Chain A
Amino acid sequence: MRNRILQHEWKMLRGDVTLWIALALLIALTAYAAYNGAQWRRLIATAPQSAQTAEQKEYAALRQELADITSGKIVIKPDAEFGSPDYHRDVRDPYITGYYGKVVTAAPPPPLLGLCIGQSDLNPSYYLINTRPRHELMTFAKTAEIENPLHLLIGNFDLSFVVVYLFPLLIIALSYNLISGEREAGTLALALSMPVSLRQLVMGKLALRVGLITALALLLSLAAFWLSESPVTAWPRLALWCALTLLYGLFWFALSLLIAARNTNSANNAVALTACWLGLVVIVPALVTLLANVIYPIPSRATMVQALRAAEREVAEAQHQEQVVNEFAAAYTGKFTGDIRAVIKQRADVMTDYTRREAVNLRLAGLERRFDEAKARQQSFTRKAALLSPALLMQLLLSDVAGTNGERFERFAAEVAAFHQQWRDYFTVKLLHGAQLSLADLNGLPRFLWQDETINNLSRRLFAGIAALIVFTASLSWLAVRQLTRSSLF
């Protein structure tokens, strides 16, 4: 019997022009979204690539300079005035090379950037690192993509947009008249006069649609993965992406079924479903953002600038000099065994500025942490509030899977900060030792390595969200089935 229902339904659906229009639209928009994603993927890779090329050139020149000094081709005259023809910087000095050299710390483009652009158009994809203090290099970084702010406001046309916004509408268009359509055509009574229960009939009709749509959605996800030039190694993430798409689709099918089971006419169902779509996809997410900003506001970064100035003033004041030196000494006691204070006195020409800048950094770190905490509070509120809207939840999950959510960029920044510490320590310890850099030193500089979150970790992190989607879908289905068994339908 079930097969007969499926066969009949397929015949009916096949003849429906709107179905084919909707499917063609979905395919076209997916292709366009994937093409857009590929474009963005290429664009976002260019900035770090060009910075890396510049870095290689710069370090090649540094090595050459160092070789020339060692071979005596360049003679360093310590008394020569800065800017005069006699003057030549001494790149063997760890202070000079550490301060002027710039190393690029970049992560490869997020694995599924081509499917979900997310926050990648807002955050720097690389930082330039040297021995200057962290706040100068990162808080006030100048490496973000320069993009028309209006485009940032409007948002991107990527696959996540198609999935979150358009996919539910297709599902609604296919299933708003699941039962009412038959009733209005007068065929429902006829169908039920056969040995089939209403539940069986409805489930048969639904199963066909679910099968059709999910198969198509999965096929399109795979096609988009390929079209957007995503790395093949990201296939586990693609699998997660597909699973999420499937779940999200099932949620909207369950909602449609529930509305259909309420036993009102097609027009009412369509209006109710559209209202649900509007509420869950447009209004609730906007309200959540509004509430997040009202309940957990993030203070203006203007305070950051004020703190910077206050710290700069403080560390330059005579009465704080001892403290500045102490702070610096405390930071390097484990890393340098000699007498730090003596070295600082000895190389006062560079160390005064060096220690002061570090002290500014220390003073800003507290405020920076407060900003991070404010951000974390807002994010955790948003994550919880996302349970009010599967669309919002889905968007967050998709950007998690794609690796384009804010958290990934924060982790990137944190790892760059750790690398910066390592880089700074490398040169500082050499500086404290009074050592001169050799070619071997320049060749053996620390390297920044980026490891994307493992799939296990990611799945564990997404577990709560996925569970929520399953719970939503299951409870809606349960309600719908209960309604179906109870209602008389005539």
Chain B
Amino acid sequence: MIVTIARKEFRDVWRDGRLRWMTFAVWALLLAAFAAGWKHHHEFRTQQAEAQQVMRAEWVNQTEKNPHEAAHYGTFAFKPQPSLTLIDKGVDAYTGVAVYLEAHQQNDFQFRPAQDQSAAARFGELTAAAVLQLLVPLLLVLLAFAAFAGERESGTLRQVLSLGVSRQQFALGKLAGLLLTFAVLLLPAILLGSLALLLAGDASFSVARWLLLVAGYVVYFVTVLCLALAVSALAASSRAALVILIAGWFVGALIVPRFAADASRRLYPTSTVAFRQAIEEDFENGINGHDAANQRNEQFKQQVLARYEVKAIKDLPVNYDGLLMQADEEYRATIFDQRFGALWDTWERQNRFQMWCGLLAPVQAVRALSMGLVGSDFTAHRDFAVQAEAYRRTLVRALNEDMIQRSKSGDWDYKAGRNLFAGIADFSYAPTTTATIIQRQAGSGLTLLLWLGASVALLAWALRRMKAD
């Protein structure tokens, strides 16, 4: 019986010209978004990889110079883009593509692509993720809003139920039919996506993440479908069902995300000015006001003199300037770890809060899940930023070491060459493990599953309450 209902539902959708047209439109948008994502990803990856290579060559082949001068010359780290991001660009346009690694400073990432785009980009770019998160649910609503309400209006609901079909069977048939319809749309997309990702040949590509991503979206779609069916069963008319569902979509897709962002900002405020000032003050006056810069330097000098058992700096067997700069680097490192750590923790708290707002609108949860799994959320950016900063410290330490060991205090004419520069290993980013990435999405995954459970329960309840006419 269920099969018959499903088959009938499936046929109905394909017979309805408007629905057929809309389904193809969504498909076309998905395809266009996918193609554009592919092109952008391909170009971007080539540019970033080339830049990283050139930067290494420039570093190795730089003219002979004092190690500290070389530390100021510095180098750049370019953020790679995992191939999965061709589906979901996440916050990549707003985080910057490269970071300058130099002496004394932990820098912010530079060159946010969004800064180069016009205000139109703020409407949101058409990515595959946008189609899947915003447009597909709307399509599902259009497929399902009349499922029960429409049958009731045409009088067929009572007829069907009088045939001895239980409400649950009827609903299951409807659900199966719609899912089947939808699968015809979705399966080729999944296959196409898999093929493209395999062709992209990215070492960081993980099948587990891809499958989880597909599963996450399927759970999201089934949730939306169940909600739509439940509303269709409860609503007085198919028109009312449509109005309720579209209003729900509108609130979920446009209002909740902005409110959630605002609320998270108010709950966990940050301040650019306070952040920059705090770093400066920590350095000048010492962390928590202990050990101001000049005091620190004097203490350090006495320590060094005592360690080498000499009276004056000029008697030291090593370069005091190098020692002092390295000590300073390490002091700054503590400051940076603390201040950047606090800022980023706050952002992650804001983001987590917004993810939990997924309990109000599932799109919040699926967005977090999607960005997280493809590696284009802020946490992925942070992973890279932390490694780049660690490399900066290794690089500067190696340069200071060379200066300490190979030159005398005050000898700024000492020059190091290729041997030193090439001897410092290149930066290589170790991608976050799949296990960690999946673990981080426990919250968003759970939220989606909760929604699935709730929507199925709501549908079951709605079916019992559904009026036959």
Contact = CB atoms under 8 A, between A and B. Distances in A.
Interface of A: 36, 43, 46-47, 50, 81, 83, 118-119, 122-123, 140, 142, 144-157, 161, 165, 169, 266-267, 270-271, 274, 278, 282-283, 285-290, 292-294, 297-306, 309-310, 312-313, 316, 371, 374-375, 378-379, 382-383, 386, 392, 395-396, 399, 405-406
Given A270-B243, A302-B47, A302-B98, A150 B261 contact: yes
A401 B18 CA distance: 40
A302 B78 contact: yes
Given A46-B271, A378-B117, 13 more contacts: A118-B122, A149-B378, A270-B239, A283-B126, A283-B135, A294-B40, A300-B47, A300-B51, A300-B97, A301-B98, A302-B97, A304-B111, A395-B123
B119 interface: yes
Given A290-B125, A300-B48, A395 B119 contact: yes
A187 B78 CA distance: 69
Contact of B120 (A152, A156, A289, A305): A289
Interface string B221-265: 000000000000000001100110010001000100111011001
A142 B107 contact: yes
B94 interface: yes
B2 interface: no
Contacts, number: 201
A122 B78 contact: no
B117 A289 contact: yes
A83 B58 CA distance: 31
Given A122-B114, A150-B350, A285 B120 contact: yes
A123 B122 CA distance: 14
Contacts of B254: 165
Nearest to B93: A153
Contacts of A287: 29, 32, 126
B108 A300 contact: no
Nearest to A393: B120
B95 A149 contact: yes
Contacts of B125: 286, 289-290, 293
B2 to A, nearest CB: 30
24 contacts: A147-B270, A148-B265, A150-B377, A150-B378, A155-B124, A156-B258, A270-B239, A282-B134, A283-B135, A287-B32, A289-B120, A298-B113, A298-B116, A302-B50, A303-B47, A304-B111, A305-B76, A306-B54, A306-B55, A382-B118, A395-B120, A396-B120, A405-B119, A406-B118
Contact of B54 (A155, A289, A309, A312): A309
Secondary structure call for the B interface? helix
A286 B265 contact: no
Given A81-B410, A152-B91, A274 B246 contact: yes
A392 B270 CA distance: 31
B199 to A, nearest CB: 19
A46 B270 CA distance: 13
B110 interface: yes
Contacts of A290: 32-33, 36, 125-126
B439 interface: no
Nearest to B91: A149
B265 A151 contact: yes
B275 interface: yes
B62 interface: yes
B63 interface: yes
Contact of A297 (B29, B43, B135, B270): B43
Contact of A157 (B242, B262, B272, B354): B262
Interface string B268-302: 00111101010000000000000000000000000
B457 interface: no
Given A165-B254, A304-B111, A36 B262 contact: yes
A383 B134 CA distance: 25
Contacts of B114: 122, 152
Given A274-B246, A300-B47, A399 B119 contact: yes
Contact of A286 (B48, B55, B123, B273): B123
A50 B273 contact: yes
A123 B115 CA distance: 7
Closest 7 CB pairs of A and B: A301-B111, A302-B51, A286-B126, A285-B123, A149-B94, A149-B91, A300-B47
A263 B381 CA distance: 54
B29 A154 contact: no
Contacts of B262: 36, 157
Q: Which of A154, A282, A375 has the most CB of B within 10 A?
A: A154
B399 to A, nearest CB: 18
B55 A309 contact: yes
A146 B130 CA distance: 26
Contact of A154 (B120, B258, B272): B258
Nearest to B343: A146
A237 to B, nearest CB: 17
A155 B47 contact: no
A286 B124 contact: yes
Given A142-B107, A300-B48, A305-B76, A283 B29 contact: yes
Nearest to A285: B123
A284 to B, nearest CB: 9
B51 A118 contact: no
Contacts of B243: 270
Contacts of B63: 313, 316
Given A142-B107, A309-B58, A392-B120, A169 B39 contact: no
Interface in B22-78: 29, 32-33, 36, 39-40, 43-44, 47-48, 50-51, 54-55, 58, 61-63, 73, 76, 78
Contact of B108 (A146, A294, A399): A146
B44 A300 contact: yes
B83 to A, nearest CB: 16
A282 B43 CA distance: 27
Nearest to A278: B138
Contacts of B43: 297, 300
B210 interface: no
